[in-house]
Amino acid sequence: MGAVVSKTGSSVPVEGVAVGINEVLEMVRNDGIETVDFRFLDLPGLWQHFTIPATGLNESVFTYGLGFDGSSMRGWKGIAESDMLIVPDPTTAWLDPFPKSKTLVLICDIKDPITHEPYSRDPRNIARKAEEYLLNSGIGDVCYCGPEAEFFIFDDIRFDQNEHSGYYFVDSIEGRWNTGRDEGPNLGYKPRYKEGYFPVSPTDKHQDLRNEMMHNLIACGMEIECQHHEVATAGQAEIDIKYASLKRAADQLMSYKYIVKNTALQHGKTVTFMPKPVWNDNGSGMHVHMSIWKDGINQFAGDGYAGMSEMALHAIGGILHHAPALVALTNPTTNSYKRLVPGFEAPTRLAYSSRNRSAAVRIPVVAANASARRFEFRCPDPSCNPYLAFSAMMMAAIDGIKNKIDPGPPFDKDLYDLPAEQLAGVPSTPGSLDEALVALEKDHEFLLAGDVFSADTIRTWIDYKREKEVDELRLRPHPFEFALYYDI
């Protein structure tokens, strides 16, 4: 995550500064570190870990790695070829505030134990190759990503699914549905549906909790821009972390989700990054800001539309052109498409604009600050694997730059209010994960450039999502179907 723990026990951000193996080993020896936690993630994007005693961490571990069984990792190899190597990255060191033992976290790369080559399905390896591809292209030397991940803070969550029943139940002290509940006493102040943006206390019940999340994130090495209540009732929130280079931004987002969830757990709350856990209110998105730099100069700054360069507009063209396939990676759950519904809160129309938040790509207004020129892809949600999502976005942008893809004219009108005849000419995101996977099958050559994504990884992703998610949901009756059809 770009932080190293100092001898005082606090984490120090080191964005852009190499943290060496010797520094980490010295810190372990001198700062009372008891355990070292190795973090890595499966293909869908869930963090995994195992822990060793601090005495087991030495230079050899950083050089040669440790063997482990990878057969249980979703989307990885089968049991017949399950042995893998895990190699910690010393530049990612940070002190975990949650375990009882003083624990150092190291985010790791995965390698093949025979060839010692990086594992092609390791998401972090894909992000590394994406950064190398950008550098080798000559277009830039760093791609900055700034994700804005939204989430819900609930007091209770129950769900079950079996052969004869299926249900879910979420609850929150802030839930508008609880205005009539006997809470002994009920004090009211529950945000109205779609009116939860920026209320102060007492309507905002989670200011202190979000502050604690923010301070924990800072202590673990992140730079935080702001925290606030989001639009939905029932504790929807957002904490914005400062942009970083592509792989580091993905490292930070995985750490962010872990820290936010565990801070909530300490207070008897539960956090979910599921895109649409509450019906009839806003879902949780993750707008991603992106820019490409070279030799310290923002290549997206120029004198074109909204202060953008021709390169930036072509990058936007690439994003819009490949968006139907992109969302299979940036919006990778069946639940994602409960949020991406035309005419509702999420931007689904594949257009771009300055300031207009109804467009899939927005160019933020940054006054005369050329270094801040960037675009924002507003479709993604925080259920994604960030290494895959950010890499795919950058690859689409580079494809747009290389092939000079014209994004067309900007849409500076509210796309939600356009007449039907005008709206018919504006393409939209796919309506389901299944449709997005079909689009990815048809359009993924841009991801294979530079061997960033392998054909095997794309095929594995599509097959996994279809078999484990799309088909499994398709086979099960939905509770609302009983309300619609039971009496027919």
Distance CA 302, CA 478 (A): 51
Phi and psi angles of residue 103, each rounded to the nearest 5 degrees, phi first: -120, 130
Per-residue pLDDT tens for 32-77?
999 999 999 999 999 999 999 999 999 999 999 999 887 778 888 7
Cα torsion 436, 393, 89, 100 to 10°: value is -60
DSSP state of 283: -
Catalytic residue among 378, 399, 444, 469: 378
Tell me the β-bridge partners of 289: 146, 376
Q: Is 148 annotated as catalytic?
A: yes
Residues β-bridged to residue 184: none
42 is catalytic: no
83 counts as catalytic: no
Given the residues 89, 131, 148, 345, select the one marked as catalytic.
148
Which pLDDT value is given to residue 370?
A: 84
Query: Which amino acid is present at 438?
Result: V
pLDDT tens digits for range 252-264: 999 999 999 999 9
Q: What Å distances lie between residue 228 and 31, 199, 240, 359, 383, CA to CA?
A: 35, 9, 9, 23, 20
Q: Are 44 and 387 in contact (CB under 8 A)?
A: no
Give how far Cα 326 sits from Cα of 67, 253, 393, 407, Å.
34, 19, 7, 16
Nearest CA among 368, 469, 462, 357 for reference residue 414: 357
Helix/strand/coil percentages in the chain, nearest 5? 35, 25, 40
Element (H, E) at 290: strand 286-294
Which of 149, 145, 152, 223 minimizes the C-alpha distance to 388?
145
Phi-psi sector, 231: left (phi>0), alpha (psi -120 to 50), beta = alpha
Tell me if residue 287 is catalytic: yes
Name residue, tokens 């290389």.
402
Catalytic annotation, pick one of 26, 59, 69, 456: 69
Q: What is the DSSP-derived secondary structure letter of residue 92?
A: G
345 is catalytic: no
- Cα(245)–Cα(248) distance, rounded to whole angstroms? 5
Q: What's the token pair of residue 133? A: 């591809």
> Measured in Å, how far apart are the chain's first and last C-alpha atoms?
56
Q: How far is CA 371 from CA 250, 292, 301, in A?
A: 22, 11, 7
Residue of 37, 122, 131, 230 marked catalytic: 230
Rounded CA-CA distance 140/401 in Å is 11
Choose, from 49, 215, 228, 357, the residue flagged as catalytic: 357
Amino acid at 86: I
Of 210, 248, 287, 321, the active-site residue reads: 287
Bond before 479 cis per omega within 30 degrees: no
Residue in 42, 96, 109, 238 annotated catalytic:
238
The segments of the chain whose pLDDT lies below 70 read 1-18, 78-81, 367, 414-417
SS in 3 state form for 361-389? EEECCCCCCHHHCCEEECCCCCCCCHHHH
Residue 109 belongs to what H/E stretch? strand 103-111
Query: What angle, 0 to 180 degrees and rounded to 10, lies between the N-to-C axes of helices 123-137 and 386-402?
Result: 20
pTM of the predicted model as reported, rounded to 2 decimal places: 0.94
Sign of CA dihedral 368, 374, 379, 384: negative
Active-site residue (options: 89, 131, 376, 469): 376
- Cβ neighbourhood burial of 85 (10 Å; 0-12, 13-18, 19+): buried
Gyration radius from the chain CA atoms: 23
Question: Catalytic annotation on 195?
Answer: no
Please indicate whether residue 357 is annotated as part of the active site: yes
**Cα-to-chain-centroid distance, residue 149:** 7
Residue 4 confidence (pLDDT): 46
pLDDT of res. 6: 42
Catalytic-role residue among 42, 109, 150, 345: 150
